[in-house]
Structures are given as C-alpha cells and as structure tokens.
C-alpha cells in the first residue's frame, strides 16, 4: 500500500526551487487532524473529506496517555497546533499544545513533570531507529518528505485529535476529549485500516516558498 495517499479533488499549486524543503499549499483548508493509535494512521481533514493519509510511528511506549517526562507515551485527547520548527533535527516539525491545563494539574497532583515538546516530525536520524516501529520519545513521526507536506498544509490553531488504541486497556486519565467514533468523519472511518476510496491528486503540494516562523527553542 502506498505510504502516503493524497485525496483532494482539486488543488491549485505554484512552486519555486525543487531543492527546498519548504513547500507551498493552496488547496482546501485542513480543518482537523485525526491520529489513530490503533492502526498507526494520521488523516488531514477538510471537514468530512480526507485530504491526506499517513502511516505513523508513536512514542516507544505507545499505549496510554502521556503522564510525565520520559515515559515514552504519545498524548491522547484533543490538542491544537501551536508552533512549528523549520530547523528541527527531524527535518521539519509541527508542535501541539501538550501539556494543557488539565495535563499540568494532573502532573502537579502526582508530583511529576508532565513533559512537553510533542511534535509531528520527520524520520529518524539514528541508524538504530530506522527500522524500529514506535521509536520516538512521544512525538508522531512520518517521513521527511511527508512532513514537508504537513508543514505546508496544517496551520497554527488546527485541532489535533489523538484517538486511543482499544488494546491493551487504558486505565490512566486522559486530558482532552477525543470525539466519539460516531462523530468522526465517515471518510476517516472508511479509510481506517483499508485502501482509501477517493481519487488521488499528487499535485496537492509542490516545492515552494513558505512562511518561516520559529516558535520552538528546542531541536525537535
């Protein structure tokens, strides 16, 4: 199965130098991002239409909501894109607003550091991680080429819903409220675990100039 599937019906495009990692996107707005831990999939949505599908890797301890710094878990719940790093050690990265107020409150009650620096970023830099599933410290990883598209397509403020896996059972509290499955766009559920049914448009994003805003002081 092709790792990345673009599903836009129309997309205008314009480009500059092909060597740039920054790309220009003028297609339909990405209104939400859905990340399914169960089958390691991420979908960029324009309302009820899936614009793109990606295979993902999670934190090295992929089940359950992130509780504290160093636990290797990827957060669960609804967050928002709040920063991006064009100088990421992982090619490019888009960050979410974990920990939120609830995360910080729970961590304080437990006497732990909730951690942070959760990003959607590119592929591994260490040889040992290249063939390893779920290799990150809690981030969501795709390929370097794919993160170029995500960086261009997903704007700050976009909701990111991280849906827990059904197994093993999750007993830990989860800040944020993932939408019930019956409220998730039908196209996402149809594509969840099977071949997408909408036509592919490979012209969705092309090499080009993109606004560059450094809002992270870390190298993730």
Residue 20 CA, distance from chain mean position: 21
Query: Do 83 and 155 meet the contact criterion of CB atoms below 8 Å apart?
Result: no
Is 139 assigned a catalytic role? yes
**26: β partners:** 12
Is 19 assigned a catalytic role? no
Q: Which of 46, 139, 161, 192 is catalytic?
A: 139
Burial (CB count <10 Å: 0-12, 13-18, 19+), residue 128: exposed
In degrees, to the nearest 5, what angle opens at C-alpha 193 toward C-alphas 91 and 179? 80
Rounded Cα distance between 97 and 18, Å, is 32
Q: Which of 46, 65, 91, 121 is catalytic?
A: 121
Rounded Cα distance between 147 and 36, Å, is 17
Q: What residues act catalytically?
A: 121, 139
């Amino acid at each position: 199965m092709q790792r990345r599937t673009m599903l836009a019906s129309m997309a205008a495009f314009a480009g500059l130098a092909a060597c740039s990692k920054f790309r220009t996107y003028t297609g339909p707005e990405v209104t939400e991002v859905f990340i399914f831990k169960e089958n390691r999939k991420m979908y960029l949505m324009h309302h009820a239409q899936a614009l793109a599908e990606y295979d993902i890797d999670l934190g090295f301890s992929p089940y359950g909501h992130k509780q504290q710094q160093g636990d290797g878990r990827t957060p669960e719940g609804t967050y928002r894109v709040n920063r991006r790093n064009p100088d990421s050690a992982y090619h490019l990265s888009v960050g979410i607003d974990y920990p939120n107020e609830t995360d910080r409150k729970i961590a304080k009650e437990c006497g732990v550091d909730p951690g942070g620096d959760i990003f959607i970023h590119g592929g591994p830099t260490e040889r040992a991680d290249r063939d390893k599933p779920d290799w990150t410290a809690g981030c969501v990883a795709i390929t370097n080429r794919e993160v170029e598209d995500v960086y261009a397509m997903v704007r700050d403020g976009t909701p990111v819903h991280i849906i827990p896996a059904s197994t093993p059972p999750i007993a830990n509290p989860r800040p944020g409220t993932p939408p019930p499955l019956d409220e998730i766009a039908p196209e996402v559920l149809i594509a969840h675990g099977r071949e997408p049914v909408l036509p592919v448009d490979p012209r969705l994003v092309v090499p080009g100039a993109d606004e560059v805003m450094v809002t992270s002081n870390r190298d993730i």
